[in-house]
Structure 1
């Protein structure tokens, strides 16, 4: 069978129609070229080794939000700014989320030089990053945070962004890894809530309360999540939109619990209908045990 969709039209004067894509989808090359137009190179000086390098940065005009997930993950259309959130010095291996890049202390510089720079081999990246490049860079950033014994909030936010990157991959394996990083994010954010001053990465105390509740919900810690959501709802001076978000999540938990209960009841009914007792006395004994 001829795979050319427009086969047979050549004798009518149409040429160069052998490989027409009828849906005109962008090729990877076209997509990459378009993404390049949304980027510019920012000159950055590494605070660890003083090496000057270019950091790929998303133009502010290119931010186009599609929607926001319930754990504050923003989905973008034109280009994903999260891919470019980590700055990495290819000379010494120092990496951090750009918000933190220049806030490194002298003792932390020494730790990077001792434990990162001595082992660093360098890595050349493409001009346009994808989710896999982003994951690698976030992991390098997290390693630097661990080596320098950074604040819990830094490690938590880094882990949360790693979870978001795995969410974008959207496979069964990636979903499992997402939960691993969400668990780490929850642990760090919970520590930061009690030990660090607010705001934390733009979040006030109440936003952090909500996020802790939401991370608990996503990890299946229903009772804990309900406590945190209730605290958001009942605390004075919390913004109304955040209270509404907490109410929505509480309602979602109740709906999921009701659906699970209904499935369990239906399963039990089905099992009971298929049960054929040998004797009536055994049937009576069976049900009497259930309802004692």
Structure 2
């Protein structure tokens, strides 16, 4: 890389960071665990620019990514949670954080601008807190899902699937054991999401059951029914093509084996 190219890229990164700084502000927050007052980085709502929505509700943004700032962390005691949950912690759970998180916590020096790796780190810290206080499955589920989304942005398919599987496990537990709504979703939206997570993690036949229940419901919204119908058709097409793909693979293997045998024998028939 030439010095000029490196310089242009560096200046471009700096301009991008300066642009992002203008979209951020500090929100003063009081930690419900230790009483410490700190500044949480937040994005001005007018700054959101949506590019695309994925079928599992992941939203892709341009300019600045709100998901990067979705976790609040108290730098004094180590308490962390997704911002919608942060202030809602019982005294008992606060004491648990003080006893199990705080003694092992080391103060962090977070930058003004967060990137995807820092976002993953903060989501995992939030998840640790949820497990320590034995939070509801739904809270763990949305945390796992957002970590999976971050790995999707990194195009790290292995870790994405790993965390999607954990999100599915916890959404499934929440569906059967918690009161609705779950993470702001009604029954049929939750059912659709469970089906979609099954589809994305290779459990296609199981996903059909969930999609079908949404599609045949008389009370689900037309929007979520249409989404479920689209994904159901996608799964059906995938399952119909699988035998063909497997047969083609076998045919290719057989052809390859025959060619190798012919090539081996031809050496002695010349």
Query: Could you state the TM-score of these two structures normalised by the residue count of structure 2?
Result: 0.90
Query: Within 2, Cα distance between the matches of 1:273 and 1:182?
Result: 38
- 2:216 match: 234
**Counterpart in the other structure of 1:222:** 204
Question: Which residue of the partner structure matches residue 199 of structure 1?
Answer: 181
1:257 to partner: Cα distance: 2.1
* Structure-1 separation of matches of 2:162 and 2:198: 12
Aligned length: 257
Q: In structure 2, what is the equivalent of residue 82 of structure 1?
A: 67
Q: Which ranges in structure 1 are unaligned for 5 or more consecutive residues?
A: 5-17, 277-292
Asked if 1:160 corresponds to 2:160, the answer is no
SS of match in other structure, 1:229: helix
Question: Secondary structure of the residue that 1:104 maps to in structure 2?
Answer: coil
Shift of the 113–257 alpha-carbon distance from structure 1 to 2, 3 Å rule, reads same
**What are the superposed Cα offsets for residues 96-150 of structure 1, whole Å, 9 maximum, x if unpaired?**
0000001100110010000001111111111000000000000000000000000
Q: Shift of the alpha carbon at 1:44? A: 0.2
* More off after superposition, 42-51 vs 217-226: 217-226
Deviations 1:187-225, CA, capped at 9 Å, x for gaps: 111111111111122211111000000111111111210
Distance 2:5 2:159 in 1: 40
Distance 2:10 2:102 in 1: 44
After superposition, the CA RMSD in angstroms is: 2.1
Query: 1:114 is matched with which residue: 58, 76, 99?
Result: 99
Residue 54 in 1 paired to residue 39 in 2? yes
In the alignment, what sits opposite 1:253?
Answer: 235
State the TM-score, normalized to the length of structure 1. 0.83
Task: Identify the match of residue 262 of structure 1 among 244, 248, 269.
Answer: 244
Unaligned runs of 5+ in 2: 259-270
After superposition, the C-alpha distances for 1:77-99 in whole angstroms (9 at most, x for unaligned) are 12100000000000000000000
Tell me what 2:80 maps to.
95
2:168 to 161, 183, 186: 186
* Structure (1 or 2) with the greater helix fraction: 2
Residue 180 (structure 1) shift: 1.2
Over alpha carbons, which structure has the higher Rg? Answer: 1
Deviation string 1:235-269 (CA, Å, 9 cap, x unpaired) is 11111111111111111112222332222232344
Whether 1:37 and 2:22 are equivalent positions in the alignment is yes
> d(CA) in 2 for partners of 1:242 and 1:86?
28
1:142-183 Cα distance to aligned partner (Å, 9 max, x none):
00000000011000100000000111101xxx2111111111
